[in-house]
Amino acid sequence: MARVQISGTGLFTPKESISNEELVSSFNKFVDEYNESNKESIQKGEISALEKSNADFIEKASGVKSRYVQDKSGILDTSFMRPKLRERSENELSNLAEIGSIAGQDAISNAKIDPNNIDAVIVACSNLERPYPAIAIEIQNELGIKGFAYDMNVACSSATFGIQNIYDMIKSGSIRSAIMINPEMCSGHLNFKDRDCHFIFGDVATAVVLEELKEEQVSDNCYEVLGTKLLTEFSNNIRNNYGFLNNSSPEGIGKADKLFHQNGRKVFKEVVPKVASLIKDHLESHSIDINNIKGMYLHQANESMNKLISKYLLGFEADQSLAPIVLDEYANTSSAGSIIAFHKNNENLSKNDLAIICSFGAGYSIGNVIVKKIA
């Protein structure tokens, strides 16, 4: 069977960024306005007053210090509090296709591959802009790629699940190469009026080119994929109820459950040991000692989660050189987080070094990829 390599990765970072201080200032202004306009109901005990947020709370709870977004003004406007995006005509690139194409082109350039030699495009992300036509086919057209394309969604684990799809197709011989793209405009599904989660997400796009590995064609900074392992278990602890059937239930339109919501404490308690166990089992199945792993590119949801996962595996908290944190700058970018960490830090690895790319999130869904640097 064919061997598979990651030959290039790409990244699109929005131009606008919001610091914790800016976000808190807007949120607290909204709280003041809400409490004042609902003063009588609050005094009667009919509803509760909203509690203000602060930057120290956000950083301590998550490790997030800032986030990149496609639209800053709409998010910080207390009369709107969501990204304000222009409706695009059907003759224009969609929002996700635009940022995904930029990340895709970056990955193609880094892989030094001709788009004509790419056989497939997979868009793997947590929120799709529309049901059809597929965003992947739109990006395929924009990048000039032949073959086929499709969208898939496994929430925060979409990237690792997408890598497995491509890995299996290349190994079986049905394709020789593909590009996997993660356009994540997470600010669009975030409730900026909710103190417990208004700080969590940011926007970004990443991409990964995978090809059949041929020793004579290995380019700079390539990684052989040694194996993948996936797991899903149903949980309601991370959820978003928005969908096309909402219009058939008008009483629910605009309710808070149509945006991201979670039970963060349960997620932390339940997911961390599952992730550590899956990584451990996966490495053991390949006869790899965890102490031989030189890079742990984990999902970027919460700094404390990542530190605890590394402690479960290693017996100590991994430092930045072993398990890089990018969520302080990017926040949680769903499926793109582990790919950003890999993209921005993989050149620290030496030839034959082993590393993992691991994601985890809603579902629950967990995906792990073992790679070895070959050039």
User: Which residue numbers are catalytic?
Assistant: 156
CB 222 within 8 A of CB 21: no
Rounded Cα gap, residues 323 and 138, in angstroms: 35
The partner residues of 224 in beta bridges, in order of sequence, read 5, 372
Q: How many CB atoms are closer than 10 A to CB 244?
A: 8
Query: In 130-263, where does DSSP find H-type helix?
Result: 135-143, 158-172
Cα first-last separation, the chain = 21
Rounded Cα gap, residues 187 and 255, in angstroms: 17
Residue 202's closest CA among 72, 15, 68, 12?
A: 68
CB 100 within 8 A of CB 142: no
Q: How many CB atoms are closer than 10 A to CB 296?
A: 22
Q: How many CB atoms are closer than 10 A to CB 235?
A: 17
> Residue by residue, what is the 3-state secondary structure of 53-122?
CCHHHHHHHHCCCEEEECCCHHHHCCCCCCCCCCCCCCCCCCHHHHHHHHHHHHHHHHHCCCHHHCCEEE
Alpha-carbon Rg for the chain in angstroms: 21
